[in-house]
Amino acid sequence: MDHFQFIGTDMPGVSIINSFLQEDNRGMFVKSFEKDIFRDNGIDFSCNELFFSYSTKHVIRGLHFQTHAPQAKLVGVISGRVFDVVVDLRAESPTFGQWRGFYLSAVNRNSLLIPRGCAHGFIALQDESIVSYLGDGPYDKATDTGIRYNDPEIGIRWPINNLNDAIVSEKDQQLMSFGEFRKQYRFEV
């Protein structure tokens, strides 16, 4: 493939993006973002920050979002494989309170566009899984929070035999429930 492919999903604003790829006898070159091409495909995304996470197998990170000035995110996998999850927190969305999961890997080179007003998280399915994040909008440490990965009301089906075997930070284990989110916040984006 030598061009981007934009694939919509049934969750408004969430898209799978298959990256630009060139391969030859030296290896490959992958481009996961180009502002003008994204804009030409109806996606207005402006990168404010770029960061990476490195995770061992069965690490769960998330479900994160900002309560003030939510960010859009473009996430992809540089090494390894993850099951990436989006939870719709937008009050007027037809998929409010629902989750969707997507397999992202260094092999499939897919990226996932997560719109403002959605929570994001993933589980690493391989050791040495490196996830890249482009953030559209400023990071706001004071309102950086999330919903627990194992909230029964959301009911994410993580691809792990025993969820008790997941490796989760203390911070992520203490995030709010979806019920607490609904009582305190309302995203209208």
Cis peptide before 63 (omega within 30 of 0): yes
Per-residue pLDDT in tens (0 to 9) along the chain, 189 residues: 458 889 999 999 999 998 887 888 888 787 888 888 888 988 888 888 999 999 999 999 999 999 999 999 999 999 999 999 999 999 999 999 999 999 999 999 999 999 999 999 999 999 999 999 999 999 999 999 999 999 999 999 999 999 999 999 999 999 999 999 999 988 876
> Which class for 1: exposed (0-12), middle (13-18), buried (19 or more C-beta within 10 A)?
exposed
103 is catalytic: no
pTM for the predicted model, two decimal places: 0.91
Q: Identify the CATH number of the domain defined by range 5-184.
A: 2.60.120.10
CB atoms under 10 Å from CB of 18, counted, come to 16
Angle (CA) 170-186-7 rounded to 5° is 80
Coil, strand or helix at 117: coil
Amino acid at 158: W
185 is catalytic: no
**Catalytic pick among 54, 103, 133, 185:** 133
**Catalytic pick among 54, 64, 103, 185:** 64
User: What are the distances in angstroms from CA 156 to CA 14, 34, 38, 71, 86?
Assistant: 17, 32, 30, 22, 10
Coil, strand or helix at 124: strand
